C-alpha cells in the first residue's frame, strides 16, 4: 500500500535540476503550505504554521518542473510522502518531509497559465528553452525558509508571483483571503 497526498502552497525556492550518477534526471523545489481560515467571530483571516516539503520530480516531470515553476508560484503537488529523520554533526535533530511527485502544476485559483505540450524532448512554445539550454542548473536556494509561504514574501523584491485571481461571486473579496476559506491544504487521496 502506498500513501498519496495532495498539497497546495507556494514554491519557496526556484527548482534545482541535476542528473545524479543513476542517470535519472531529478528536480527539487521547496513547497511551503500555510493553512488560512476566516475567524467566524471577528471575520478576520488567520494563518497557521507553515509546513515545508521538499518536492522531488524525476525523469520527464523533472524537466517540466524546472522549466515551468519559479520561486513564489502557487502550486499543487500530488505524490508519495517520505518522512526522514536526521541529525547533524552538532547533534541537532530534525524531520524532513519529501514528496516524490507524480504531478505538479500551477494552482489556477490564483491566476492563469499557458500549457505547452512537450514533444521529442523540446517545448513547442517559442517562450521556452531548447534542451541544450535546459541543462543549465538553477542557482541553489537556501533550504532555510521564511515563516510564511506568502507569495509576496517568497518572490524576489519588486516581483509579483503572478496575476491576482479575481474572486468568484461566492468567494471573499479580501485579496489576502484564499479561495478555499479554511479548507485543509493537506489532503489524503484514495
Q: In this predicted model, which residue has the larger pLDDT, 161 or 106?
A: 106
Average pLDDT of 15-36?
96
Instruction: Note the CATH number of domain 4-178.
Output: 2.40.50.140
119-154 in b/e form (b: 16+ CB < 10 A) is eeeebeeeeeeeeeebeeebeebeeebeebbbbeeb
pTM: predicted TM-score of the whole model, two decimal places: 0.62
Look up cell 522549466; give the residue.
67
Average pLDDT of 139-156?
41
Give the pLDDT of residue 132: 41
Average pLDDT of 11-31?
96
* Backbone φ, ψ for residue 64 (5° rounding): -65, -40
Q: What is the pLDDT of residues 98-107, one digit of tens each?
A: 999 999 999 9
Give the pLDDT of residue 2: 79
The grid coordinates listed for 147 are: 515563516
**Could you tell me the pLDDT band of residue 21, with boundaries at 50, 70 and 90?**
very high
Q: What is the pLDDT of residues 124-147, one digit of tens each?
A: 444 444 444 444 443 333 334 334
Give the pLDDT of residue 1: 59
The grid coordinates listed for 183 are: 479548507
Q: Give residue limits of the domains in the chain.
A: 4-178
Is the dihedral angle over the CA atoms 112, 152, 81, 63 positive or is it negative? positive
Lowest mean pLDDT among 27-31, 73-77, 114-118, 147-151: 147-151
Amino acid at each position: 500500500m502506498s500513501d498519496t497526498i495532495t498539497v497546495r502552497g507556494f514554491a519557496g525556492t526556484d527548482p534545482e535540476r541535476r542528473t545524479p550518477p543513476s542517470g535519472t534526471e531529478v528536480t527539487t523545489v521547496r513547497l511551503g503550505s500555510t493553512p488560512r481560515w476566516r475567524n467566524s467571530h471577528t471575520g478576520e483571516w488567520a494563518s497557521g504554521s507553515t509546513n515545508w516539503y521538499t518536492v522531488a520530480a524525476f525523469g520527464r516531470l523533472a524537466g517540466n518542473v524546472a522549466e515551468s515553476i519559479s520561486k513564489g508560484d502557487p502550486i499543487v503537488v500530488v505524490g508519495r510522502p517520505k518522512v526522514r529523520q536526521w541529525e547533524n554533526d552538532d547533534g541537532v535533530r530534525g524531520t524532513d518531509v519529501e514528496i516524490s511527485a507524480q504531478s505538479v502544476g500551477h494552482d489556477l485559483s490564483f491566476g492563469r497559465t499557458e500549457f505547452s505540450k512537450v514533444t521529442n524532448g523540446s517545448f513547442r512554445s517559442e517562450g521556452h528553452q531548447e534542451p541544450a539550454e535546459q541543462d543549465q542548473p538553477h542557482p541553489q536556494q537556501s533550504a532555510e525558509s521564511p515563516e510564511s509561504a506568502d507569495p509576496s514574501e517568497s518572490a524576489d523584491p519588486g516581483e509579483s508571483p503572478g496575476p491576482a485571481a479575481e474572486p468568484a461571486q461566492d468567494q471573499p473579496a479580501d485579496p489576502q483571503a484564499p479561495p478555499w476559506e479554511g479548507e485543509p491544504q493537506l489532503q489524503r487521496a484514495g
